[in-house]
Structure 1
Amino acid sequence: MKTIIDELSWRGLIQNKVSGVEQKLKKPTTMYIGFDPTSDSLHLGNLLPIIMLIHFQKMGHKSLALIGGATGFIGDPSEKYNSRIFLSKEILQKNTKLIKNQILKLVKVHSEKIELLNNSDWIQNISFLEFIRKVGKHFTINYMISKDSVKKRIKNKKNGISFTEFSYTLIQGYDFLYLNKEKNCQLQIGGSDQWGNITTGIELIRKKTGKKVYGFTFPLITKSNGIKFGKSEKGENIWLDEKKTSPYKFYQFWMNISDSKIEKYIKIYTFFSKEKIEILILKHRKNPDKRFLQRELANDITKWVHGKEISKKIMEITHILFDKNHKKLHYLDEKNFVSIYNHIPHMELSYDEFKKGIFLIDLLKNSGFFSSKSEAIRAIKANSIYVNKQMIKENILLKKNNIIGMKYILLQFGKKKFFIIKIILI
């Protein structure tokens, strides 16, 4: 009989693991994964923990999702090169509520029910002295600084690591101890950056109770620059909240996955069977230029995160935007234009501003396509700019005859970057 380890192994979802976990998971086991509420939304990287929760629940185990209402006050130093900015209690409570709703919504789509907990319910009742007597005495400083997350920060001579962040691993270890006692939880799972925190919990339980518990990690999904997707990371992120990352942009992220990664991602981010995925991969390899796997993944995951209706709209918009026949734009109705406007970068321009005409370079600069006119000029000279799907080779003066759908102008830079202008009467 196939076990959860078999299922996760062929999908490439296991990195580090404690010995004996394979045997343990042949029987129903309670596991947990933690989520720190350091932002008001989950992101692409958080999808993997949720996927793990669902896999375990589907295969007869019990999944616990733990929101770090307490640990969020501190912030996990793992994979962080600088100290986190502390969040207020009010913000953390708000974030906790929003993240809880996102987790429950995503799990519900797959008809699975999980138990959701908050570690502030037990951490806030322990005094500092009680904690360091109950937990701190079991770990030497040598053990603590051997953790990769701590070693990296110690090497950062400019910022180092605060005692607050240094203590994070002990609190997470205590969470595992508490859940082991109260929920008979015997397995903790996390991203590969959590290995040090997971083994601290395993060690604490062994020293306090003599019990053997388990843990394993899954690979982190990183950005093109090698940095993990994270709620507190600087730079662009792919959020699950449509107000932070539009569904169109979310869909396009998956469409733009490289061929070198897409076979890995289709296994990780879908619940398709092994047989179905093998068929899809073979089909994709015959005609990789058609991006068949990317489309399958983008459709499936956008539908999961944003719902069937929005997913359908995004696919329709994508078809319109990437259709090379520019004449089709002129036959779109207002409903189509509104949908495009709502899902891609956009701006409004008053008719009074437009009626005298506006030069393309000025429009490109004002729309935010480019930070300077010189960049816009270079793009035009490189034949990379399109207006209403037609290539523009000079700095033309845009007038009334350039408006389509009675009030829209579609700008395009290269093959994938779009921007729509709405002309309005004031």
Structure 2
Amino acid sequence: MNSLLEDLQWRGLIHQCTDQDALSKLLDSGSQTIYIGFDPTATSLHVGGLMQLMMLRRFQRAGHRPIALVGGATGMIGDPSGKSEERNLQTADQLERNVAGVEAQMRQFLDFDGDDGAILLNNYQWMKDYSYLEFLRDVGKNFPVGTMLGKDSVRSRLGSDAGLSYTEFSYMLLQAYDFVYLAQHHGCQIQAGGSDQWGNVTAGIDLGRRMLGKTLYGFTAPLLTTSDGRKMGKTESGAIWLDPQRTSPYAFYQYWINVEDADVMKCIAYLTEIEREEYESLKSDTESNPGARTAQKRLAQWMTEFVHGQQGLDSAQRASKILFGGEIGDADDAQLKEIFADVPSETVPRDRLAGEGLWIVEALQISGLVSSSGEARRAIKEGGVYVNNQRAGDQQMKLTTDDLASESMLVLRRGKRKYSLLRFE
């Protein structure tokens, strides 16, 4: 088997393939072109999209040429695959912003330089001037309706309460034509995608045979899901985005640190370029000493550095240390608010810090960490009270603006993990 396919195989990244033996021979014959489509539903990709970008990156590192196709045209329609109801159609302006954001992120992970570099395309380029009548004559006549009705993505929606509009029904034709266009104009013979795209992939292969008389190839990777079947990359607050403005490096890092033992090795195999020898070592460590969370730490480190760079990783690790009692240093309000998002907080008039300042015993009572002044004094005397993660041993200590950890916040802690945040406004 081709060495690249062998790597994908042990990683568990081949879910379905039209003809794996023939694909292996094709890859062995020389550099090939492969494409994956990305519908621009937001201004940023999330970790599910990163998994597909990593697939293109794996092919590029093996000497092949990737095409990252942004669906400026198909994004106007919306893919019904894996959806229980129709997407809301986006405005042209929103779609344009989404396309620009996604394109910028793709350039971060793929090498587009040189004559053999990756290609970044937008299918709106070849669909915008294609008339409806011409499309029906050229493409529509090559699509048997019975075959379309047999696709899982169509059949499941037809049997649901939401139904399926003609608009979404047409999506398959548009995506299939992308494969034909790329085969004609860029010599692309391979399409990849998530397992929910199998119907669209095979539709493109069939259309290529009918319109071009060519044999095209396709395969899909499993979706990124947890061991109990839920999609990964989502939290209570929403998706895990690649854009640091939407998901900070700290939140991104924390997501991977907290991945369950049952899922961590799959994440390492699917999303990273960690080699098999290290993978097996991490797997052994997880099985023999799960409490050390060695694999989670390596996953979080690799992913955060890859997506956000060394500076983003340093920032995330520094913030994580703060949560576990490390020095707060030069944090700002936004960072502290995020780090201590689940910590009780109280707002206090800023003038309480003026003059002699706010007595620490009162501050502890305001924070809710103690119920009385006597309890506060005992906690301080026993060495269990911390201001900005620095032990406070003086029962008479007065807090002033010099004690703020950031522009307006002060962090109080009792014991190892009982925090409260005071915001002075």
Q: Report the Cα offset of residue 309 of structure 1.
A: 0.8
Amino acid at match of 2:349: Y
Equivalent in 167, 181, 186 of residue 183 of structure 1: 186
Contact map agreement 1:247 1:343 (CA 8 A) in 2: no
Q: Report the Cα offset of residue 418 of structure 1.
A: 8.1
Q: Measure, in 2, the Cα distance between the counterparts of 1:66 and 1:87.
A: 18
Contact map agreement 2:32 2:65 (CA 8 A) in 1: yes
Gap change, CA 1:405 and 1:142, over 3 Å in 2: farther
Corresponding position of 2:109: 106
Corresponding position of 2:5: 5
Corresponding position of 1:139: 143
Corresponding position of 1:379: none
Q: Report the Cα offset of residue 30 of structure 1.
A: 0.7
Q: Measure, in 2, the Cα distance between the counterparts of 1:180 and 1:188.
A: 10
2:34 pairs with 1:39: no
Contact map agreement 2:70 2:122 (CA 8 A) in 1: yes
Q: Report the Cα offset of residue 404 of structure 1.
A: 9.6
Gap change, CA 1:85 and 1:411, over 3 Å in 2: farther
1:1-400 mapped onto 2 (5 Å cutoff): 3-19=3-19, 20-27=22-29, 28-108=31-111, 113-157=117-161, 159-222=162-225, 226-228=229-231, 236-323=238-325, 332-333=328-329, 335-336=330-331, 340-341=335-336, 343-344=338-339, 349=347, 351-352=349-350
Q: Measure, in 1, the Cα distance between the counterparts of 2:243 and 2:317.
A: 19
Q: Report the Cα offset of residue 265 of structure 1.
A: 1.3
Contact map agreement 1:79 1:149 (CA 8 A) in 2: yes
- Give the secondary structure class of the aligned counterpart of 2:189: strand
Unaligned runs of at least 5 residues, structure 1: 365-385, 391-398
Q: Report the Cα offset of residue 274 of structure 1.
A: 1.3
Corresponding position of 1:383: none
Q: Report the Cα offset of residue 262 of structure 1.
A: 1.0
Q: Report the Cα offset of residue 151 of structure 1.
A: 1.1
Contact map agreement 1:54 1:110 (CA 8 A) in 2: no
Corresponding position of 2:380: none
Q: Measure, in 2, the Cα distance between the counterparts of 1:271 and 1:304.
A: 10
Amino acid at match of 1:300: W
- Give the secondary structure class of the aligned counterpart of 1:25: helix
Contact map agreement 2:2 2:24 (CA 8 A) in 1: no
Q: Report the Cα offset of residue 278 of structure 1.
A: 1.7
Q: Report the Cα offset of residue 155 of structure 1.
A: 1.3
Amino acid at match of 2:306: W
Corresponding position of 1:406: 404
Q: Report the Cα offset of residue 69 of structure 1.
A: 0.4
Larger radius of gyration: 2
Report Cα offsets for 1:223-280 as digits up to 9, x if no partner: 687454699x997211111111121111111011111111111111111211222223
Contact map agreement 1:246 1:344 (CA 8 A) in 2: no
Gap change, CA 1:419 and 1:64, over 3 Å in 2: farther
Gap change, CA 1:268 and 1:318, over 3 Å in 2: same
Q: CA RMSD in A?
A: 3.5
TM-score by length of 2: 0.80
Corresponding position of 1:423: 424
- Give the secondary structure class of the aligned counterpart of 1:307: helix
Gap change, CA 1:317 and 1:406, over 3 Å in 2: same
- Give the secondary structure class of the aligned counterpart of 1:254: helix
Contact map agreement 2:208 2:214 (CA 8 A) in 1: yes
Corresponding position of 1:369: none
Gap change, CA 1:361 and 1:349, over 3 Å in 2: closer
TM-score by length of 1: 0.80
